[in-house]
Structure 1
């Protein structure tokens, strides 16, 4: 995880450096806000974004996994932004996010046999974060807010499986809904933006375990770092 932390730190330093420049001639400032026009500023508009995701898992039952690995993947989607002062705006997003976790565990398979060795789980989500944006510098902002995610696909060790525990085929099922908190930094140059954030899921990934599961894996939760670039279409 250290290389991810260094990457995010680099984003923050770059953001600060860019904030010291005036930006391209003719590009509106984040503080160009006209309250009489209902949010007429560079902080009002919409665009597209996407980037790299380093996913992992958290929680009390994380101890039942060994050799935990980061699941490197991606996310992409659209955002809208509405400025309601010269410093503050609200930004909802609609994202497709592929995430998951990797490691070794002792979870039984459908036949009740203990699965040892590499274990790789891919979780595909549709995410809706709603972020409060504060421009503490003209070109640099902090983002924080809640996020709700809908699980659309599960792939375990390369094989797709149903999210629900239908027919008791598996000794556990997956929660189709996750919710959590996102926080990060973003820098802008003209219509382009680059940022990084961390998202902590609060709901348990796995549910409805049967007695066949010897090692409890209920209390594991999503966590991920996201680094992204975006282009504003209308701002």
Structure 2
């Protein structure tokens, strides 16, 4: 179980999150303005976590994602797609200390900024890969705020495929490989960690 302590710097942290959000928005806006092959759109989907942890038992919780993207074609076969997504997921876990079993339900929310390279196999089918940085927006354990005990930045790598249909619509199936420990805390002499990896299925619409 996490020990929650009130954060004296909540206001400063919130301002940092707002600044990061603004930087991400400007990045997407700048990308959208480049080249004649640019398309701007919105997307939404579901997340299926596949987290790894040091807990004795681990059960993941589905989440969702919603946001905006810009598809920038550099030529007939290649493109770049920056996105700005609000994404949620969670995990149920159990660990034992001094013979006592603890059950936790942790829910995490991030503002994710993936930047994907896209290869157009055909006009409709694409292969996608690229890095992702996530900024923590909210973290709860059993309904209690634990933001102070979760790392504020998360890194990952995305791999996936996409299919364009009806000219303006697309569907993406991806796997995000978590590279950093989202949670990192100690119970006596034992260190528990969780890496957030997940599959996602999302539908996009180009405006």
**Superposition TM-score tier, normalisation by shorter sequence:** 0.7 to 0.9
For 2:153 and 2:189, the matched residues in 1 are separated by 25
Question: Hey, what does 1:149 align to over in structure 2?
Answer: 134
Residue among 122, 130, 139 paired with 2:107: 122
What TM-score, normalized to structure 2? 0.77
In structure 2, the CA distance between the partners of 1:96 and 1:132, relative to structure 1 (3 Å rule), is same
* SS in structure 2 of the partner of residue 138 of structure 1: coil
Give matches, 1:20-39, under 5 Å.
39=35
Q: In the alignment, which residue of structure 2 is the partner of 1:86?
A: 76
- Structure 2 Cα separation of the partners of residues 154 and 54 of structure 1: 18
- Corresponding residue number in structure 1 for 2:64: 74
User: Which consecutive residues of structure 1, in runs of 5 or more, have no partner in the other structure?
Assistant: 1-37, 165-172
Q: Which residue of 2 aligns with 1:54?
A: 48
Instruction: Select 1:40's aligned residue among 36, 40, 58.
Output: 36
Could you say which residue in structure 2 is the equivalent of 1:163? 147
Residue 137 (structure 1) shift: 1.4
| Contact 2:55-2:93 at 8 Å conserved across structures | no
Distance 1:79 1:229, change over 3 A: same
Contact 1:140 1:187 in 2 (8 A): yes
Looking at structure 2, the residues matched to 56 and 104 of structure 1 have their Cα atoms a distance apart, in angstroms, of 16
Q: Distance in 2 between matches of 1:162 and 1:65?
A: 21
* CA deviation after TM superposition for structure 1 residue 64, in Å: 2.7
Give 1 or 2 for the bigger CA radius of gyration: 1
Match of 2:164 in 1: 188
Aligned residue for 1:226? 200
CA distance in 1 between partners of 2:48 and 2:123 (Å): 29
Query: 2:190 — aligned with what?
Result: 215
Cα gap change, 1:143 to 1:107, in 2 (>3 Å): farther
For residues 162 and 215 of structure 1, the distance between their equivalents in structure 2, rounded to whole angstroms, comes to 19
Q: TM-score, normalised by structure 1?
A: 0.68
Shift of 1:194: 0.8
In structure 1, distance between residues paired with 2:178 and 2:128: 16
Q: Is the 8 A contact 1:151 1:177 kept in 2?
A: yes
Distance apart, 1:72 and its partner CA? 1.0
Equivalent residue number for residue 95 of structure 2: 105
* 1:205 matched to 2:195: no
Q: Which residue of 2 aligns with 1:11?
A: none
- Structure 1 or 2: more strand by fraction: 2
Contact 2:72 2:79 (C-alpha < 8 Å) held by counterparts? yes
Native 8 Å contact 1:64 1:215 kept in 2: no
SS state of the match for residue 83, structure 2?
A: strand
